[in-house]
Amino acid sequence: MASTSRRALHLLSLLGSRRLWPMRELATRLGVSERTVRRDIETLRRLDYPVTTVHGPDGGYRLGAGHTLPPLRFDDEQALAVAVALQTAPSTVFGLADDAARALAALERVMPAPLRASMESLRLTRLRNYWEFPAPPIDAAALTAVGAAVRHRHVLVTEALRADGSRPEPGDDDFRPARRVEPHHLVVWAGRWYVVAYDLADRAWRVRRVDRLHPRPTTHPFTARELPGGDLARFVMSSHDRGDTVAAWPCTGSARLGLPAGVVARWAPGGSVVEHLDDEHCRLTLGAWSWAGIAGILATFDAELTEVRPRELVQAGRRLATRFS
């Protein structure tokens, strides 16, 4: 019986590792006959694991989706990967920290001693690195609404939010009417979540910070469109009007750069704002823990700098120039 149980768990692990397994491959991996594999599959089904049969020459078995989440089996490498992910993921989404901590504790309780020792060696201590340019955590409900609209290809109604998450009222200077968009992609870049969408009013592609939107789902379907250029990463990184706001830092400054906004937007750190001025110039506003830090980032663009503000940033640039000379 113990041998049968171990083999069934091994079979469950195999089924969970990829979408489709031919019977012959399963029998080879388990070292048993195909008849024994069929019995083990029936054992898993009696335990409410949704193992489905795919008929035809390219058929086999796969683990489908059930009505409830059944117990899962991870191999050692998968368990360690989940443990690391649970320690690193919650910082970008509101409300996940406690759930992630409970999931990590549950995983630890069932780990064998050698694997637990390996996980302890990967225990993470969160330290603040001043060059991370952190973003505030995003609301899980908003993220879920946008993600569902992307997955189901449903039009989304979005309202712009302030940097503090509040909603402007009609009559406020920063109030913007709601927009109807076709959300195509959900992207994480520089610790921030963005939705790449086609604006139906402007008939143009837009990139927007999800934490700057109040999304309202609809059931109106849309047909997928071809993204300009076909390169999603490049499109997001080179879009200067992503709805970014300057991250909170001890020092904040700006300068006019002799480069196009799209170029600067691609290489500017997260938490900075790029303003299009003309085809060859833009304004970059960013923060850092010191004025010299801002000056150093501006220098990395190796472009003409004018209209540098404030005075403290200008003075920091002069001090750096003197040191380098």
CATH number at residue 53: 1.10.10.10
**Cβ neighbours, 10 Å, residue 238:** 20
Is residue 232 in a domain? yes
| Residue 1: predicted pLDDT | 43
Asked, for residue 315, whether it belongs to a domain, the answer is: yes
The count of residues in the chain is: 325
Q: Do 116 and 151 fall into the same domain?
A: no
Q: Judge if 257 and 184 occupy the same domain.
A: no
Give domain status of residue 68, yes or no: no
Q: Does one domain contain both 257 and 282? A: yes
Q: pLDDT 10s per residue in the chain (325 long)?
A: 446 567 777 787 788 766 788 998 988 988 899 899 898 888 888 877 888 888 887 778 888 776 555 666 677 777 777 777 777 665 666 667 777 778 787 778 777 888 777 777 666 555 555 555 566 777 878 888 898 899 899 999 999 998 888 899 988 888 999 999 999 999 888 778 899 999 999 999 999 999 899 999 999 999 999 999 999 988 998 899 888 888 888 999 999 999 999 999 999 988 899 999 999 999 999 999 999 999 999 999 999 999 999 999 999 999 999 999 9
Same-domain check for residues 218 and 259: no
**Residue 109 lies inside a defined structural domain of this protein:** yes
242 within a domain of the structure (yes/no): no
Indicate the SS3 state at residue 298.
Answer: helix
Q: Are residues 274 and 199 in the same domain?
A: no
Among 63, 89, 106, where does a domain finish? 63
Whether residue 134 lies inside any domain: the answer is no
Q: Is 114 exposed, middle or buried (0-12, 13-18, 19+ CB in 10 A)?
A: exposed
149, 198: one domain = yes
CATH number of domain containing 263: 3.30.70.250
pLDDT at res. 2:
46
Domain that holds residue 93: 76-121
Same domain membership, residue 316 and residue 258 = yes
Maximal C-alpha separation, the chain: 80
Task: Tell me, yes or no, whether 149 and 223 share the same domain.
Answer: yes
> How many domains are contained in the chain?
4
- Whole-number pLDDT of residue 320: 95
Q: Are residues 144 and 225 in the same domain?
A: yes
Claim to verify: residue 146 and residue 232 sit in the same structural domain: yes
CB distance 34 to 1 below 8 Å? no
The residue from 187, 209, 237 where one domain ends is: 237
**Where a domain ends, among 205, 237, 269?**
237
14 touches 21 (CB < 8 A) = yes
228 with 145, same domain: the answer is yes
How far is Cα of residue 183 from the mean position of the Cα atoms in its chain?
15
229 domain-assigned: yes
273 in any annotated domain: yes
- The residue among 221, 207, 286, 298 whose CA lies nearest residue 251 is 286
Q: Are strands 204-209 and 60-63 parallel, antiparallel or unpaired?
A: unpaired
Nearest to 197 by CA among 153, 140, 162: 153
